[in-house]
Chain A
Amino acid sequence: MEITNYVVLAAVLFAIGATTVLLRRNAIVVFMGVELMLNATNLAFVTFARLHGDLTGQVLAFFVMVVAAAEVVVGLAIIVTIFRTRRSASVDDVNLLKG
């Protein structure tokens, strides 16, 4: 199979993730969009590593995974704190700061 297909797939996944972030209202779903973007990046890294025949890309994918995990820890903590205060995880309800 043509290796560029994987790159195209990565780009499509990334675009879906970005659209999710921009359009969805629930903070958890927005956050899932970000995770999808990061995983699309991993796919691109691994594909390019295969293409170039070196391991750097595969190692980088691990770095991205670790960073994504750290981001989940902090992000969910913030979202859960807000949910406990307001009983809602909608980003539309988070609107006290304006102007």
Chain B
Amino acid sequence: MTTFVPPEIDWLALAPLIVVLGAGVVGILVEAFVPARARRTTQIVLALAALAGGLAFVAVLWPQIVAQPVQVVGGSVTLTPFALAAQGIVAVLAFLGVLVVADRTSTGQDAFAPTASAVPGTSYEDLARRAGLVQTEIYPLLLFATGGMMLFASTDDLVVMFIALEVLSLPLYVLCATARRRRLLSQEAAAKYFLLGAFASALFIFGVALIYGFAGTVRLLQIAQQVQGGMLPLEGMSVLLVAGVLLVTVGLLFKVGAVPFHAWTPDVYTGAPTPITGFMAACTKAAAVVALVQVLYRTSIGVQAVDPQILRQLQVVIVVVAIATMVVGAVVGSVQSDVKRLLAYSSIAHAGFLLVGIAGFNAQVQASTLFYLLAYGLSTVGAFAVVTLVRERRVASGSRSGEDNGPVADDGVVLGEATEIAQWAGLGRKAPWLTAAFGIFLLSMAGIPLTAGFVAKFGAFSGAVTGGLWWLAVLGVLASIVTVAFYLRLLVVMVFRRADDETVPEQVPDAEDLDASETAGASGGTAPAALATAQVTAAQRVVVTVARSRGPAAVAVAVCAVATVILGVFPSPVLDLVEQASKFVP
């Protein structure tokens, strides 16, 4: 009789993942057992605590992993310093993202539909809104997505990577469909993201099947060892390996948002609820790029042993994709008129810049990729947080805002986000601090010195130069200059152009007035409502206002802005940390 041998598992190495995913499961139980009024607070506290806990465990593990990378559960989780640093970055960005998600702003509403399953425009939806329902399932879903991302970045097993890909994608598909406003766009974004995402993951898993067929294993490092040791089950069938690696790379490039697999990015970023867009843009990109780097480098060891020519061709593929991504992101981005769409194309361009660094196939410079992901993630979460606060407000035409015309709008005082770039005119006067923060994020994305983006871009491009691709770095700098143009255009509109509604003095109230009118509406009972119905017949127009954050989003914006500047001025401590992390083969 055979005896059962329990596997030895290094639980501490799994702790960051267990904390985040476990908190997601607890969040589901919270949905079932905690009374409705306490549910939202409980979920927010739980989510933030879990992400902070995950980050704390990453910090605890750091010295041990830097000294000696470990493989847990037979290599299903491979914790190298590179992977652990990626887990930390994802946890930090997700923490900031959850802060933005949690903010209800001065309008008292979060960005999510009261019941996402209700058909838009029906009485049921109306009823749910009046009853003040909230979908607190958002927070467990965010935790599951974050856990999936952390696992995605830290595995050597292609099938575990596939499962992590689904664990991170499926919650995101759902989250995309839950916007409170513009629900048709939101559902459409979810459908597009889902269909294309499912297609990409099918390509990924078929690639895994082909690699398995070639090598008889799905562990990347074992494949490399077998190829080098000449122990291949299918000698001479290297076409399987090449096709497999290409399909896996395509699946990952889709998540990264690289051209020609970028088509979903602008639509999904525009349609999804803005806090989710920020979370998704920053964290998914970080996880996917880290996974891509690990897959490319680990397979490149094996591929090189089979045939060095194939590795060169693989590099050509990455270079072509990098060039196409930068060009499309920069050129198409410069003709956008919507802020969210502009940020989406900027994220495509950044995927291109990241690929420039990766295309050098130089292990040392991968540290700069991590720094890039952190810098880009901070400015992205911050920028989308600012977008959540710039709102449309419907006022009766010709009336001064000092009078009580607040509750005229159908859905509270303040409507949805004002995402047209033209609407952002004059924002510099209405909200100087917010504009300053947004300016810092844009300058960082543009790569202006003294911001984190400059250090990041310098690292990525010098990676390409070290890899012997100096002309690619030159192309990167040129594309980067084109993106500077559209970031500056947005900034000029915000700071120098006057808003259309500024011609009438005091037409647009600042946040205090807005709050006052809101509380008046709440306490005054029916009187303002009657006034409102009287005014509905009057011509209405939409002005742009800035909703005041209730704290969390303001904290997130402030942290992102300060961190962006600090990383730009004193990058060396963080650069030292990621330098330690540049070892990603145990």
Complex Cα distance A76/B512, Å?
A: 45
The residues of A that contact B213 with a CB separation of less than 8 Å are 7, 44, 47-48, 51
B210-253 toward A: CB 8 Å interface, digit per residue (1/0)?
10110011100000000000000110000000000000000000
Selected contact of A56 from candidates B170, B199, B205, B212, CB within 8 Å: B212
Selected contact of B202 from candidates A37, A86, A97, CB within 8 Å: A37
- Once A34-B199, A78-B173 are accepted as A-B contacts, the answer to whether A44 and B194 lie under 8 Å apart by CB is no
Contact B195 A30 (CB under 8 A): yes
Expressed in whole angstroms, the minimum distance between the Cβ of B128 and any Cβ of chain A is: 15
A81-96 toward B: CB 8 Å interface, digit per residue (1/0)?
1101110000100101
Tally of A-B Cβ pairs under 8 angstroms: 125
Selected contact of B336 from candidates A31, A79, A99, CB within 8 Å: A99
Stretch among B35-43, B158-166, B367-375, B569-577 lining the A interface: B158-166
Complex Cα distance A20/B387, Å?
A: 38
- Once A52-B216, A75-B198 are accepted as A-B contacts, the answer to whether A85 and B166 lie under 8 Å apart by CB is no
A42-62 toward B: CB 8 Å interface, digit per residue (1/0)?
001101100110101100100
The residues of B that contact A34 with a CB separation of less than 8 Å are 195, 198-199, 202
Q: Report the nearest A residue to B217, measured CB to CB.
A: A56
Stretch among B184-192, B297-305, B489-497, B543-551 lining the A interface: B184-192
B463 part of interface (Cβ distance < 8 Å) = no
Q: How large is the interface on A (under 10, 10 to 19, 20 to 34, 35 or more residues)?
A: 35 or more
- Using a CB–CB cutoff of 8 Å, the interface residues on chain A facing chain B are 7, 10, 14, 17-18, 21, 27, 30-31, 34, 37-38, 40-41, 44-45, 47-48, 51-52, 54, 56-57, 60, 63-64, 67, 70-71, 74-75, 77-79, 81-82, 84-86, 91, 94, 96-97, 99
Given A52-B233, A71-B201, A75-B194; 19 other pairs, CB 8 A cutoff: A10-B209, A21-B195, A27-B195, A34-B195, A34-B199, A37-B203, A37-B206, A41-B202, A54-B216, A60-B159, A63-B162, A63-B163, A64-B205, A78-B191, A85-B120, A85-B184, A91-B191, A96-B188, A99-B338
- Using a CB–CB cutoff of 8 Å, the interface residues on chain B facing chain A are 116-117, 119-120, 159, 162-163, 166, 170, 173-174, 177, 183-185, 187-192, 194-195, 198-199, 201-203, 205-206, 208-210, 212-213, 216-218, 233-234, 266-267, 270-271, 336, 338, 341
